[in-house]
Structure 1
Amino acid sequence: MAESPATTWTLSGFGDEIDPEPDMQAAVLLALGARHIEVRSAWGVNVADFTDALTVRLRRVLDARSIAVSAVASPIGKVDVALPVEHEVERLRRVIRVADGLGARYIRIFSFYRAAGHSHDDVRDAVLERMAALAAEAEPAGVVLLHENEKEIYGDTPDRVLDLVESVGSPALRLAWDNANFVQVGVRPFTDGYALLRPYLEYLQVKDAIAGTGEVVPAGHGDGELLETVTALRADGYAGFASLEPHLASAHELGGFSGPAAFGDAARAFADLTRRIGVHLA
């Protein structure tokens, strides 16, 4: 029986998990075989606060290393849903300028926190109103918003993520899949969510977690069903980005940190996993 042809996924990673300095971010990614970077912050400045001058400065650094940008990892939607609709729409406009300046098609977003004492049902209409407004801003700009299933936002479980993407119904809203985040809210990612969400899955963020504690660990070392997920993605013909977001040293509201050594450990763990199923990372 003939072997199936090799599959290649494009390796990327959150540069600020390595170091605040983009030169170091690029050097480590290149050493690990990646030619793309996911930009969340540079020089300690979050992308939502980038000026045009800072965007140009970062683009020059990355171009000098022949590094392209897979996505802009914005914090849009990581705020209380009680804020006015225009609050995040205005921030998205600025982030779209950053994405355009960096040559990125994808922008990561979230689906809002809620105040204590409010249920998911209480805030559903407000969340959908804001997500639809964000998608309406993104669509004519030619960018795709990638909703990440972050814990404690509206879309942190597969059923609510599906509700979001299908209710908004925009080609400018798709999903960034994060196995570890699902584990941290008590979900078995592949078992409970893969079939439901695969039609909208357009980007893979790579980290794993232990169910009992929520501790983030390298890919394949936790309960995130990473092997089942990547095996199914390969079988489905996925050929997109796989972006390392290890969170192995610390995590906080706007992101996390690993450092060069732990980031390398995370990259090698994921490469071992994909090698087992015949996926090449480049």
Structure 2
Amino acid sequence: MAAPTWVLSGFGDEIDADPVVQLAVLEALGARHLELRGAWGTGVLALDAQQRTALRKLLDERGFRVSAIASPLGKVSLDLPVEAEVTRLGTAIELARVFSTRFIRMFSFYQEGRDPAGMRDEVLVRLRAMAALAEREDVVLLHENEKDIYGDTPDRVVDLVESVGSEHLRVAWDAANFVQVGARPFTDAYARLRPYLDYLQIKDALAADGRVVAAGEGDGEVVETLTALRDDGYQGFISLEPHLSAAHATGGFSGPAAFGRAARALRGITDRLGVELA
């Protein structure tokens, strides 16, 4: 039986602000896809028409494609009106068209000291509005389980995707983020979230202090998760988001050397599992 093949991608702005450097490093690591969060020091939703055109031209020249628009949608206060993120989603959809992808990463609103149970209804109102637009425009929202947003625990992620009930709201799996909220990713979440899991973002973390480490070096049960995905026929993207040098509210940074170390750690695991990365 042929070895399964997953599509390797990565957050280019974790490598360098210059997309030329981003693509050079990703290519050296065997990737032909970019997860687009920013270029030239500009966040993806703020890229102007000239920047979009220049970046698309560069991608085409280098033979790269975009795996997902790594937007910050939903990484805002719940105090903003429903229309605010729906409007920004419109911008993300424009970018998805420009860069020929259906995937748009998003989040489920900062807790800001609130009791998550008291946020639920307002979060669902917003996510349902966003999912409705995604359905009309035929794009797929990928909810990432980031620390300190509503959907940061396995229970709340399951609740969100099942309550919205749309094939256009799916799950981007991030093991490190689950570790940072006290969850055991594979043990506590895999079986429940696998039916909705359409995208992998790879970083790991230590349960003791939340520090982010390369895949397989922490408590994120990365090997167990990737083994199960191999065995149940996962096909799709596996995107490096190492956060090995810095992490902050809008993202993280690794630099070329640390990003390369993260990529080699991942390949060490997938090679042992008999999974090809292309």
Please tell me the TM-score bracket, short chain as reference.
over 0.9
Q: Percent identity?
A: 63
Aligned with 1:271 (options 262, 267, 271): 267
Aligned with 2:221 (options 203, 219, 225): 225
CA distance in structure 2 between the aligned counterparts of 1:157 and 1:91, rounded to whole angstroms: 25
State the one-letter code of the partner of 1:199: P
Q: Would you identify which runs of 4 or more consecutive aligned residues in structure 1 move more than 4 Å?
A: none
Checking the alignment, whether the CA contact within 8 Å between 1:36 and 1:69 is kept in structure 2 is: yes
Q: Describe the SS at the equivalent of 1:171.
A: coil
Residue number in structure 2 paired with 1:55: 52
Residue number in structure 2 paired with 1:95: 92
Matches within 5 A, 1:110-129: 110-116=107-113, 118-129=114-125
Aligned with 1:177 (options 173, 184, 192): 173
Distance apart, 1:5 and its partner CA: 2.9
Q: Describe the SS at the equivalent of 1:72.
A: strand
Q: Per-residue CA shift, 1:47-102, capped at 9, x if unaligned? A: 11122222111101111100100001000000011110001111110111011101
Checking the alignment, whether the CA contact within 8 Å between 1:82 and 1:114 is kept in structure 2 is: no
CA RMSD of aligned residues (A): 0.7
Aligned with 2:241 (options 241, 245, 248): 245
1:137 matched to 2:159? The reply is no
Aligned with 1:9 (options 6, 11, 14): 6
CA distance in structure 1 between the aligned counterparts of 2:49 and 2:163, rounded to whole angstroms: 34
Checking the alignment, whether the CA contact within 8 Å between 1:11 and 1:35 is kept in structure 2 is: yes
CA distance in structure 2 between the aligned counterparts of 1:112 and 1:242, rounded to whole angstroms: 24
Q: Describe the SS at the equivalent of 1:80.
A: coil
State the one-letter code of the partner of 1:93: G
CA distance in structure 1 between the aligned counterparts of 2:190 and 2:167, rounded to whole angstroms: 20
Checking the alignment, whether the CA contact within 8 Å between 1:52 and 1:98 is kept in structure 2 is: no
CA distance in structure 1 between the aligned counterparts of 2:83 and 2:45, rounded to whole angstroms: 15
Distance apart, 1:277 and its partner CA: 0.8
Residue number in structure 1 paired with 2:252: 256
State the one-letter code of the partner of 1:261: A
CA distance in structure 2 between the aligned counterparts of 1:166 and 1:35, rounded to whole angstroms: 33
CA distance in structure 2 between the aligned counterparts of 1:188 and 1:224, rounded to whole angstroms: 7
Residue number in structure 1 paired with 2:147: 151
CA distance in structure 2 between the aligned counterparts of 1:72 and 1:115, rounded to whole angstroms: 25
State the one-letter code of the partner of 2:220: G
Q: Describe the SS at the equivalent of 2:73.
A: coil
Q: Describe the SS at the equivalent of 2:8.
A: strand
Q: Which runs of 5+ in 1 are unaligned?
A: none
Q: Per-residue CA shift, 1:137-178, capped at 9, x if unaligned? A: 111111100000000101001110010001001111000000
Aligned with 1:83 (options 63, 80, 85): 80
Residue number in structure 1 paired with 2:31: 34
Checking the alignment, whether the CA contact within 8 Å between 1:78 and 1:112 is kept in structure 2 is: yes
Distance apart, 1:237 and its partner CA: 0.1
Q: Describe the SS at the equivalent of 2:173.
A: strand
CA distance in structure 2 between the aligned counterparts of 1:201 and 1:273, rounded to whole angstroms: 20
